[in-house]
Structure 1
Amino acid sequence: MKLIRKIVFPFVPVYYLITRLRNILYDKGLKTSTSYDFPVICVGNLSVGGTGKTPMIEYLINLLKDDYLVATLSRGYKRKTEGFQLGDEQSIVETLGDEPFQFYNKFGSDILVAVDADRRNGIKQLQALDKVPEVILLDDAYQHRKVKAGFNILLSAYNNLYTKDWVLPTGNLREPRSGATRANVIVITKCPDDLSEVRKQHIIKAIKPESHQEVFFSSIDYDANVYSAKQTMSLESLNNFTLVTGIANANTLVKYLKGKHLNFDHLNFDDHHNFTDQEILLLSTKSKLLTTEKDFMRLKQYDILKDRLYYLPIKIKIDRPEVFDKLVKDFVQA
């Protein structure tokens, strides 16, 4: 894979120029970007792969849902439906996609969960509902420039900082690093718990935030328990299991479980993987399965796995949470 990325390096300037020109056209108003007179918050990244968008969306939901009717709007990646879809009691993972389906399962009627690849149309459809949302959270829409969110939260993983990356196809960036200037807040995610202030300042210096930007650091907070469709047990009691992951980067989870001195083997699939019948049959031969909450949304439909399938929930911990929360709430209130 590394060899292929080196071979395609001559295409990097082409991709850079195309994405840079696109951003300039939007920034100059030569391409249309729709603004809104109600709070629209975008959570996204510059790079492909997992930066922790789902736990950040869930953090924002928990922060706002008691005071506002919140809606999430996602693309609904790998769903089997088209156009605008609103989560309801008949929704399954195939109609919404795994991450929106996770939002709906976790928060239910407390929020609205919608999917639409055309975010502008999705917002229009949400505003036409009888229950009009007061805040809309855009999931993974940082490059969706047709919508101009009022507040942008940019995520970058600690072990894969955008400041050290290249644009596609050699690197992982969807657009040049200069795109970070559109963010109101930059969050460095998946940080080690013992990250020093010296290291934080080193990263901030590399980011060179604009005067309107705040930089925060977050880490993953793993639940003490694992959950199945029928029961709850402590993570430590679930030993000698098979870890099943279909996420962009499972390294952080694997490292955490090894740090707990648990015995397990690991079946690692691509992000948003749709499991085949043969793969489900293979999983059914394992005595205990542990997976992520997102993967659980896809796997829980299989009766053959129900008695052995568990998931480990996560949350994020943000440094200076009172400052972060105030920035978000002040924007919504304004």
Structure 2
Amino acid sequence: MKILRYILFPIMPFYYLATWLRNKLFDLGIKKSKSYSTPVICVGNLSVGGTGKTPMIEHLITILKNEYKVATLSRGYKRKSKGFQLGDKNASAETIGDEPFQFYNKFKEDILVAVDADRQNGIEQLMNLPNSPNVILLDDAYQHRKVKAGFNILLTTYDNPYFKDYVLPTGNLREPISGANRAHIIVVTKCPSYLPEIDKNMFLERINPDKNQHVFFSSITYANTLISAEKTIELEALKTFSLVTGIANPRPLTDFLESKNLKFEHLNFNDHHNFTPVDIAELSKKELIVTTEKDFMRLKDYEVLKSKLFYLPISITVDRASKFSSLIKAYVEA
């Protein structure tokens, strides 16, 4: 894969120019963005791959849901339905996508969960509902410039920050680094649980935020209890198990499990993997399966897996948490 990326290096300047020009046309107003009276918060990244958008959306829901009617709007990647869909009791990973289904499964009636590849149409549909939301969270929409979000949260990982990367196809960036200028908040995600101030200062120096931008650092917190459709068990009670992941970067999870001295085999699938009948047949032979919450949403309805399938909940911890929350609430209130 790396060799192929080096071979494609001559294409990189053309991709850079095309994405830079597209952004410039939006910045100059030649290509039109639509603003909304309802507060719209966009969570996204410059790079492809997992930067922690799903736990960040859930963190924002937790901050806002007790005071506001919150809606999430996602593309609904790899769902089998078309157009605008609203999560309800009949929703599944197939109808609204695994991550939106995770939002619905976790927060139920506390929020609205919608999917639409056309973000403008999705927002308009939400605003026309009888119980329309007070705030809309756009999931993975940083490059969807046809919608002008009132507040942009840009995520970048500690291990692979955008300022060390290159645009596609040689690197992983969807657009040039200058795209970070649109962010109101930049969050360095998946940091070690303890991050020395010297490391934070290095990131701040490289990010070089302007006076209106705020930089935060977040880390993943793993639960010590596994959850299934039927029961819970303590993680440390496990002897051996099969870890099944279909996410962009399972490394933090495997590192955590190894730090607990747990013995497991790792069945690593591609991000948003659609499990086939052959996959399910193989998984049914496993004695106990531990997976991510996102993968659990796609696997939990298979009867042959129900008694052996568990997921490990995660959450994020943001440094200067009160400051982060106050910035989010101040935007919504304004």
1:291 Cα deviation from its structure 2 partner: 0.1
**1:177 equivalenced with 2:177 (yes/no):** yes
**1:24 equivalenced with 2:21 (yes/no):** no
What is the aligned partner in structure 2 of residue 277 from structure 1?
A: 277
Matches of 1:87 and 1:53, distance apart in 2: 19
Matches of 1:253 and 1:132, distance apart in 2: 37
Q: Which amino acid aligns with 1:268?
A: N
What is the aligned partner in structure 2 of residue 79 from structure 1?
A: 79
Matches of 1:285 and 1:185, distance apart in 2: 46
**1:261 equivalenced with 2:258 (yes/no):** no
Structure 1 residues 173-212: aligned runs within 5 Å: 173-212=173-212
Matches of 2:239 and 2:225, distance apart in 1: 13
The percentage of counterpart residues that share the same residue type is: 63
**1:297 equivalenced with 2:261 (yes/no):** no
What is the aligned partner in structure 2 of residue 14 from structure 1?
A: 14
What is the aligned partner in structure 1 of residue 313 from structure 2?
A: 313
What is the aligned partner in structure 2 of residue 2 from structure 1?
A: 2
Q: TM-score, normalised by structure 1?
A: 0.99
Matches of 1:139 and 1:166, distance apart in 2: 23
Matches of 2:74 and 2:236, distance apart in 1: 34
**1:104 equivalenced with 2:104 (yes/no):** yes
SS in 2 for 1:90: coil
Q: Which amino acid aligns with 1:92?
A: S
What is the aligned partner in structure 1 of residue 70 from structure 2?
A: 70
1:224 Cα deviation from its structure 2 partner: 1.6
SS in 2 for 1:60: helix
1:332 Cα deviation from its structure 2 partner: 0.5
What is the aligned partner in structure 2 of residue 162 from structure 1?
A: 162
What is the aligned partner in structure 2 of residue 116 from structure 1?
A: 116
Give the aligned CA root-mean-square deviation in angstroms. 0.5
1:237 Cα deviation from its structure 2 partner: 1.1
Matches of 1:36 and 1:324, distance apart in 2: 23
1:248 Cα deviation from its structure 2 partner: 0.2
Structure 1 residue runs of 5 or longer lacking an equivalent are none
SS in 2 for 1:160: coil
Matches of 1:264 and 1:273, distance apart in 2: 21
Structure 2 residue runs of 5 or longer lacking an equivalent are none
SS in 2 for 1:48: coil
1:11 Cα deviation from its structure 2 partner: 0.4
SS in 1 for 2:159: helix
SS in 2 for 1:159: coil
1:194 Cα deviation from its structure 2 partner: 1.9
Matches of 2:228 and 2:90, distance apart in 1: 21
Matches of 1:109 and 1:138, distance apart in 2: 19
What is the aligned partner in structure 1 of residue 245 from structure 2?
A: 245
**1:287 equivalenced with 2:287 (yes/no):** yes
Per-residue CA deviation, residues 149-186 of structure 1 (Å, 9 max, x unaligned), is 00000000111100000000010000000000000000
Matches of 2:220 and 2:57, distance apart in 1: 14
1:299 Cα deviation from its structure 2 partner: 0.4
What is the aligned partner in structure 2 of residue 327 from structure 1?
A: 327
Q: Which amino acid aligns with 2:98?
A: D
Matches of 1:170 and 1:238, distance apart in 2: 41
Matches of 2:37 and 2:132, distance apart in 1: 13
Q: Which amino acid aligns with 1:109?
A: E
SS in 1 for 2:167: coil
1:239 Cα deviation from its structure 2 partner: 2.6
Matches of 2:239 and 2:88, distance apart in 1: 36
What is the aligned partner in structure 1 of residue 221 from structure 2?
A: 221
1:238 Cα deviation from its structure 2 partner: 2.3
Q: Which segments of structure 1 move beyond 3 Å, counting only runs of 4 or more?
A: none
1:37 Cα deviation from its structure 2 partner: 1.5
